[in-house]
Amino acid sequence: MKRFAPTSETPSRRVAPDDAPLRLAVFGAGKAARFHLDALDHLAGVRFAGVCSRSGRSGEALAAGRPGVHTTTAVEDLIDPSRYDAALVAVSHDETAGIARRLIEAGIPVLIEKPAAPSAAEAAVLAELAADREVLALVAVNRRYYSLVQQALAVVRQRGPIRGVVVEGHEGVDDLMRAGALDAETAERWLQLNSLHFIDLLRLAGGEVEEVTGFRASANVASGDSFSASIRFAGGALGTYVAHWSSSAPPMLRVFGDEVTAEVRLAPPEDAFATFPGKRRMRLHADQADLDAKAGVLEQDAAFLLAVAAGRTSAPRPASTLADHVASLALVEAIAAL
């Protein structure tokens, strides 16, 4: 099948000069931090300079084989703009907002793993602080940067506006709970903690939200584990979010335009197609960046670091600023309240 070439250029793999690399402080040493460090290995002009972990042992393991990395258990050790040019916050959800706030107050540009705060209201406080201090603060929602997602949006927009978007956020939460990989308390917050990744794509494709209606049901999770939401966007598009956490179906994104529909499977093995009149189907192919590291992370981190190197206080879409993140959290809260 014919390959669709996205219209936007791939960001440069060099984010700063070799003789003045960006010094990155990493807060947290779990799986998310490792995904980001895998991406850093494909970027020139950035150095993993420090890591803070709760136990210290996980930070030392993360830094193993990487000379010159300062390891610590004290958050304040890394909040030093004279030693660090940028920071990544990938800690437990309950610690995220507090560390992000301290970095912003210190004037250190920060990439924050989602969610940046426990609620839209608390994220709005962080967004206001970042704006007042003129500090770059982005939220890591890497599915925005999936090359297949970007290609799907581009192929639809080439023929006109996006008319509709459907996100299916089936996540197998029941299986995770039975396996002991997810406790009941975390499951109650799962829509905000993880489903946010999928719900955020509704705004990426549809724009700003005007109205949300729908239903939710509870089988094994009191706060809801089946959702059917209809969204009206300010630009005229309509959206749908459907999720059944007991289902084995994969998460999907479907984008509808004029005589074209694009669909993306949002879990490994990621795949995508565009369908045209006459049932003509074209496969979309992932860019090399999504094969070199966890899908979306390399492009996302490159965009953040390029903005840091340029001294900017924001980054172009699909980047999610804290203010943009507030709107996605508000949409999550509206769906949770159905």
Average pLDDT (28-36) is 96
In this structure, the dihedral spanned by the alpha carbons of residues 260, 303, 142 and 48, taken in order and rounded to 10 degrees, is 160
Q: Which phi and psi (to 5°) does residue 254 adopt? A: -125, 130
Q: Say which residue the tokens 């603060």 belong to.
A: 137
Q: Is 0.75 surpassed by the pTM of this model?
A: yes
User: Domain 147-285, what fold?
Assistant: Dihydrodipicolinate Reductase; domain 2 (3.30.360)
Dump pLDDT digits (tens) for 164-188: 999 999 998 888 888 888 899 999 9
3 pLDDT more than 90: no
pLDDT of residue 177: 87
**Cα of 113 vs its chain's centroid, Å:** 7
CATH 3.40.50.720 domain position(s) in the chain: 1-141+291-320
Over residues 151-159, the mean pLDDT reads: 98
| Residue % of the chain over a pLDDT of 90 | 91
Mean of pLDDT over the chain: 94
| Domain 1-141+291-320 class, CATH top level | alpha beta
- Which residue spans of the chain are classified as CATH 3.30.360.10? 147-285
**CA dist 308 → 112, 113, 318 (Å):** 14, 17, 16
Residues 6 or more apart whose CB falls under 8 angstroms from that of 129 comprise 101, 104, 105
Q: How confident is the model at residue 42 (pLDDT cuts 50, 70, 90)?
A: very high
Q: What does the pLDDT read at residue 9?
A: 42
pLDDT exceeds cutoff 80 at 12: no
Contacts of residue 107, defined as CB under 8 A and 6 or more positions apart, other chains included, come to 81, 133, 135
Q: What is the mean pLDDT of residues 75-82?
A: 97
φ, ψ of residue 173 to 5 degrees: the values are -60, -40
DSSP conformation class of 192: I
pLDDT at 172: 86
Spatial separation of the C-alpha atoms in residues 40 and 308, rounded to whole Å? 15
What is the model's pLDDT at position 192? Answer: 95
